[in-house]
Structure 1
Amino acid sequence: MKSSVTQIERRFDIPSSLIGVIDGSFEIAFVSYFGAKLHRPRIIAMGCIIMALGSFLTATPHFFQGLYKYETSMSHRLDNTTETILPCLTNHSTVAEDDTPSEASRAACEKEAGSSMWVYVFLGNMLRGIGETPITPLGVSYLDDFSREENTAFYIACVQTVGILGPMLGFMLGSFCAKVYVDIGFVDLDSVTINDKDSRWVGVWWLGFLKSAAEEKPAEKDVNFSEMAKDFLPSLRRLFSNRVFPLLILTSLVAVNGFVGMITFKPKYMEQIFGQSASKAIFLIGSMNIPAVALGIITGGLVLKRFRLGVVGAARVALCTSVCSFLILLVQFFLHCDNAEVAGLTVSYQGLPEVSYQPGSMVSGCNMGCTCTLKHWDPVCSSSGLSYASPCLAGCQTSTGAGKEMVFHNCTCVGETVVRPSGNMSVALGQCPRPGSCDFTFKIYMAMSVMGTFVSACGGTPGYIVLLRSIQPDLKSLALGMQTLIVRTLGETCLKWGTKRCGGRGACRLYESNAFRMTFLGLVYALYLLSNLLWGVLYYHIVQRAKKASLRKQSKKGNGVEAAERRASVLMQNGDKDDLDRESTI
């Protein structure tokens, strides 16, 4: 799902805020409580079936929505001919807003295009989240019940490490799907004028969900639900009367929401800040960040097992890794590339660094007579490294070639560039790549990202141990389920918006990179900073609780010794040597 959100956003022309809602999984905590009273492996198997149904439902809109039609400044879809197109003289609308369709025609168009079918993606993901609910809480509690206490941390780390293979393969498959055109097999790919680096490109986002849909047949068992229901509210009351548990819930809520927000939009961040393609960004996350998570989880488990750390030691490890990963994340704020240079959006038509958010700035003297539409995003690149929003806005007069190989010539706006003048007045399809120095900066960013991921993952298993050792044994499944429920359910800076097929604003095509970076990382930093502060408070409470428990244990032991001494004194006074010998042995 994380590797497909960008493709889903573009395919359905929906904003990032709505993508965030779709990506949220919905959890049902009651499954975790009742499941602990039932056959837990069977409940987990039923959850897997529900997840498969949710994955299948998520993919279904592709088969009912029709072919994907990306926006283009050309008035018709190109074929394999070498027909000459005159971008500057094509009969486009002269201003950005004069071709807005009526409400009636837009409604009819949206019904035909099926643009509201993202609802099925939302419902499918919700169903998938419901099926996912019992897997972690019931699995971890089941494992903890049937393993020695000193081995629990290592076993949990092993299970979580193997579980990382799923997301890793998912990101790899997502990377492959992002490179394959969404309607492969239904359209002539030679007629497609965009590639996988274009912000309009949509890959076969639906394929991964179909691949993950599998079936299992669960066993059934007669149970008395009425008796379990009576005990649910008292168990819930006991759970939240534990002072450590609500604090741990709040800490997890803040930390996981920060992580989910970061991993969901990390591919888009790598696209907009470093100019990477969606498929490459997804591949790097799957091949580098996810294995670092697996290595970190197993490392955390081995540390707990090797040094035989109890709940206080586990809390100390979790706190240290959380602080260290936050400091590494802070360094990433200073690793970025400059804005993509697009005439009229981030720089002037002369190439001067003038940022403007007004649509009128896209019109200049060089394209004044071209009657270009300002709505469409159909970028072209000049040899000087300056991009233009469309061939028409570049002032191009003629074209040669077809499909992705099309080149536009006699572009009057290219000659106006004064910063890096170009003798070549032609432009090619696609946005210009970032400068060479950006690649080196991106490599440093990835190294810091992987390091931060590893350090953060080292605290995953200790965090589980803190939870498991801080609550009553019969409440473990409910506690893990409540944690998952609360964490999952509680948790723009666009320069150029795309245009929907039926009119209206679609997905964002180009962000102002500095504002996007500050907004994105600022929110993540705020959540992680709060999480670290809460971990500090939680660690203090755990240490205080451990001290009180130690004092009670010593007091009880001391009381036992005093009682034995008093009894021995009485026996000695009474002269009962045999009883005294037995007492001494005890």
Structure 2
Amino acid sequence: MNQIHKTLTSLNQKTMFLVALSFAYFAKALSGSYMKSTITQLERRFDIPSYLIGVIDGSFEIGNLLVIAFVSYFGAKLHRPKIIAVGCVLMSIGTFIIALPHFIIGRGNISGTINVFPSFPPGCEGESNLSMWIYVLLGNVLRGIGETPVQPLGISYIDDFTSEENAALYVGCVQTISVVGPVFGYLLGSLCAKIYVDIGFVNMETITITPADARWVGAWWLGYLIAGVITLLSAIPFWFLPRSLPMSGHQGAAPCPPEQTINSVSIHICASPDFIPTLRTLLGNPVYLIYLCVTIIQLNSLIGMVTYKPKYIEQHFRQSASKANFLMGVINIPAVALGMFSGGLLMKRLKLNIMGAARFAFGTSVIGYVLSLFFFAMSCDNAKVAGVTLSYHKMDKISYNEHSVFAAFCGENGITYVSPCLAGCTSSAGTGKNTVFSNCSCVGVAGNFTASTGQCPHRDNCDRMFPYFLALSVITSFIISLGGTPGYMLLIRCIKPQLKSLALGFHALATRTLAGIPAPIYFGAIIDTTCLKWGQKRCGGIGACRIYNTTGIF
């Protein structure tokens, strides 16, 4: 009876750990995807360019790399469930810190127009020189530090105390649950983007802009509070789990301590002095080296695309941030997950060997990138903005380098103006965003032409193009993802068994360092070069971009 009790207790503890680890994976994936969904909201709220958003986004990877060596050395020697719990708590604190600036700087300052010669409001002379986006960066670094032990220690804990045939199943279950996290993260981003940033503190009837306006800022902070609470809850079960569990099925003790991990992958090294020669041997494998270089190049483009795809949808097709995030959550992310699963299934059904896996991965990549070229054919003209893309008088196209004001009132002729005065309007009716201006002489040559608050919507031809863009985006994401699993298997099979852990760890470390960190930064810098009109900070200085040249690089 005592043995039966111990067995049942062990099973309950394993089940509890599996559920807890799955929840932790879900929580970290949710907060990570929510961060990407708030990119345009953070740009507008803190008046910063896209390249700085890239620095903030890449700071998560920096935090992860800062402590990976510490976790690698001490992780397996200490109480792994409790270390994971500490990591979840740190992730939660980091997420709360990201939301902190909203409660420090108070209400936003969104005016109806932007003056050419601004007079700074009172209080600017005493304003702190510390930019509030620093808190967002530091919070994201802390999130990266907290995330570090979750995967390596969690997977190794399962592998050490579970039979070989069950370990793969359990790990697969955990990874599957983690795919659900980004879906909910983007959906949460969509919901919060609909809500005005100062909800509960302002009368919404007095707000003159809509979520489609380039100056709209959603309740970005609310999602971080929700994600922080979820992450904090995920830490609770790990405090009640034992340091070790009874072995089942196999005695998986490694013959050579210590266990080390590099960037979320376990690495067993029997003799430390042999590390450099072993690494030299690994990098001397031409197949491994070529695969490493190819995946670094691929991930640079894919990470940059995923980071700024919602922004692209917003700016190019004039969709709201809420709709862009919703589409990412319900269309793009599931397409990627289905592609990865289908790739593994096809590899098993077709019984592909190492050469077959290489051809399959190469073929899907080529097809995916060829299809991506069709995106260039799905372009839209720039928005018609008086004083930016059109002159005020003859409405001829003007130089994009000309310094002019940003417009925020839509004329009946489909052209956006900086103010109803510059549209020639002489009377108005209604309040807030329902205000309608009439007798606008600049809008039309004759007749009672009107103007309304907010930017003009995009042209009909661009609206017709948008569904085709979405369809191509889903197909391309699915095809490129098909080669993910076969490519990963190629990485494993092209090296000697004793080098497998080192190969996986070094691959993950290299791709994170050379793709995860720099890609969002230089993609953001490229996007900044296409800005036609920069916003202006409350107390002076260049802020976030208000309108982009969509026919250019962007």
TM-score by length of 2: 0.76
Contact 1:156–1:301 (CA under 8 A) maintained in structure 2? no
Q: Which runs of 5+ in 1 are unaligned?
A: 75-92, 363-373, 417-421, 518-586
Distance 1:225 1:139, change over 3 A: closer
Say if 2:136 is the partner of 1:121: yes
AA aligned opposite 1:251: V
1:513 partner letter: T
Could you tell me which residue of structure 2 aligns to residue 397 of structure 1?
A: 426
Deviation at 1:233, TM superposition (A): 6.2
Percent same amino acid among aligned pairs?
Answer: 47
Residue 467 of structure 1 pairs with residue 491 of structure 2: yes
DSSP-derived class of the 2:547 partner:
strand
Aligned letter for 2:344? G
* Structure 2 contact 81–242 (Cα < 8 Å) conserved: no
Aligned to 2:147: 132
**Correspondence for 1:504 among 533, 541, 554:** 541
State how far apart, in whole Å, the 2-side matches of 1:173 and 1:226 are: 38
Provide the residue aligned with 2:127 in structure 1: 109
Q: Which residue of 2 aligns with 1:79?
A: none
1:14 to 44, 48, 72: 48
The answer to whether the Cα contact below 8 Å between 1:343 and 1:387 also exists between their aligned partners in 2 is yes
User: SS at 2:380's partner residue?
Assistant: coil
User: Structure 2 vs 1, CA of residues 194 and 446 (structure 1 numbering), >3 Å: closer, same or farther?
Assistant: same
Once residues 232 and 394 of structure 1 are traced to their aligned partners in structure 2, the CA distance between those partners, rounded to angstroms, is 74
Contact 1:56 1:210 in 2 (8 A): yes
- Other structure's SS at 1:415 match: coil
Partner of 1:430: 454
Equivalent position of 1:83 in the other structure:
none
Contact kept? 1:193, 1:403, Cα under 8 Å? yes
Instruction: Map residues 396-545 of structure 1 onto 2, 5 A cutoff.
Output: 396-415=425-444, 423-471=447-495, 473=497, 476-490=500-514, 491=518, 492-517=529-554
Partner of 2:206: 191
Per the alignment, do residues 53 and 270 of structure 1 end up closer, same or farther by CA in structure 2, a change over 3 Å counting?
Answer: same
Match for residue 252 of structure 1? 295
Among residues 30, 36, 50, which one is paired with 2:69 in the alignment? Answer: 30
User: Closer, same or farther in 2 for the Cα pair 1:354/1:205, shift >3 Å?
Assistant: same
- After superposition, residues 219-368 of structure 1 pair within 5 angstroms as 231=271, 234-235=274-275, 237-242=277-282, 243=285, 244-349=287-392, 352-359=395-402, 362=404
Q: Taking structure 1 as reference, are residues 395 and 137 closer, same or farther at Cα in structure 2, changes over 3 Å only? A: farther
Distance in 1 separating the partners of 2:418 and 2:153: 53
Counterpart amino acid of 2:36?
Answer: K
Alignment match of 1:4 (pick from 29, 38, 43): 38
- For the Cα contact (< 8 Å) 2:534–2:542, is it kept in 1? yes
Write the deviation string for residues 392-451 of structure 1: whole angstroms up to 9, x where unpaired. 3323333332111112233332135xxxxx733321001111122212211000000000
Residue 444 of structure 2: SS of its match in structure 1? helix
Query: Residue 205 of structure 1 aligns to which amino acid in structure 2?
Result: W
Separation in 2 of the partners of 1:239 and 1:229?
A: 11
Alignment CA distance shift 1:301-1:35 (3 Å) = farther
Deviation of 1:181 (Å): 0.6
- Let me know the Cα RMSD of the aligned residues: 3.4
Q: Deviations over 1:193-217 (max 9, x none)?
A: 1111011111111222222223314
- Is the 2:317–2:462 contact (alpha carbons within 8 Å) kept by the matching residues of 1? yes
Q: Which deviates the most, 121-130 or 242-251?
A: 242-251
Equivalent residue number for residue 163 of structure 1 = 178
In structure 2, what is the Cα distance between the partners aligned to 1:475 and 1:53? Answer: 37
Cα drift, residue 263 of structure 1: 1.2
- 1:52 aligns with 92
Task: Give 1:463 shift.
Answer: 2.5
- 1:489 is aligned with what amino acid? T
Equivalent residues of 1:397, 1:410 under 8 A apart: yes
Distance 1:255 1:107 in 2: 47
Pair 1:70-2:113 in alignment: no
Q: Select the structure of larger CA radius of gyration.
A: 1
